[in-house]
Structure 1
Amino acid sequence: MKRFLMLLMTLGIVYACENSEIGNDQETDRKKLADMRQEILDQIDAIPCENAEDWRPQALGSKACGGPQEYVPYPEAVDESGELLELIEKYTRLEAEYNKKYDVASDCMFVTAPTGVRCVHGKPELFTMAPNP
């Protein structure tokens, strides 16, 4: 019975390691994350902003102490398949794994969600409205 439990635990660990895209080299993993972030930004940049109502702010990334690294304009109406949103969520999950694995520290400052998105010269731009005094 002990051998069976040990085998089961070992298989579980191997399976978990194979399913994570975070490897064993911090520099390589940081580069993968940077490339993935750039791919997300490039996809967003390639979509013309014609109607601000088709867009919303979306959290991107994960700070070591919690919360998002930043917000990006997300083309909700254009991303019917949800592939871009899945990529954003995957990036955020992988950055959280990276932070935990490499014991990363961050500034722990809270990043406030933007109020919305507006279209400026065909490009989406996040904005935050100041509260009324």
Structure 2
Amino acid sequence: MKWFFKIIVLSILLQSFQCTDPNDSSENITSEELEIKKQEIQNYINSFSCSESVGCGFIAFGTKPCGGPWSYLLFSNAVDIVKLQEMVKNYNEMNKQYNLKTDAVSDCMYQIPPTEVKCVNGVCTIIK
């Protein structure tokens, strides 16, 4: 029975000394890098125009420390949605890691997604 207890204690101790990957860049994320990624996404979205026939969409953007998105990005449906989703997914993960690293806080207010987005004069606009 003593050996069993020692094995349990030893396994718990070993788990508490888990190694970290020195190549893990999530600990090195800076606010400047987040801003650059955000601008890349905005530039990508802005390279497409909308029209009545193409329409618009929106996607949750950023990660609040309390959970949920910081905002919603509007985009023309002419974008490559898979590419945009991947770009935003990567940004949101970086934002989440940055929040953890910096012990960030937020207002924890729920950001309500748009219910209707339309193309108005060539610009995606929230109607409701």
- TM-score normalised per structure 1: 0.73
Instruction: Report the alpha carbon displacement of residue 33 of structure 1 after superposing the two structures with TM.
Output: 0.4
Counterpart position of 1:73: 74
Equivalent of residue 28 in structure 2, options 23, 29, 35 = 23
Counterpart position of 2:33: 32
CA RMSD, 1 decimal: 2.5
In the alignment, the residues of structure 1 paired with residue 27 and residue 58 of structure 2 have an alpha-carbon distance, to the nearest angstrom, of: 27
CA contact (8 A) 1:55 1:117 kept: yes
Cα distance, 1:75–1:86 mapped onto 2, change above 3 Å: farther
Instruction: Report the alpha carbon displacement of residue 121 of structure 1 after superposing the two structures with TM.
Output: 1.7
Structure 2, unaligned stretches of length 5 or more? Answer: 1-9
Counterpart position of 2:101: 101
Counterpart position of 2:110: 110
In the alignment, the residues of structure 2 paired with residue 105 and residue 45 of structure 1 have an alpha-carbon distance, to the nearest angstrom, of: 30
C-alpha deviations, 1:55-112, integer Å up to 9, x for none?
Answer: 32210001111110000114445315x1121001111111011111110011111110
CA contact (8 A) 2:58 2:72 kept: yes
SS of the residue corresponding to residue 124 of structure 2 reads: strand
Identity of aligned pairs, percent?
32
SS of the residue corresponding to residue 37 of structure 1 reads: helix
C-alpha deviations, 1:12-54, integer Å up to 9, x for none?
Answer: x21xx52444406xxxx10100111111111111101013764
Cα distance, 1:122–1:76 mapped onto 2, change above 3 Å: closer
Larger Rg: 2
User: Which aligned runs of 4 or more in structure 1 are off by greater than 6 angstroms?
Assistant: none
Cα distance, 1:49–1:99 mapped onto 2, change above 3 Å: same
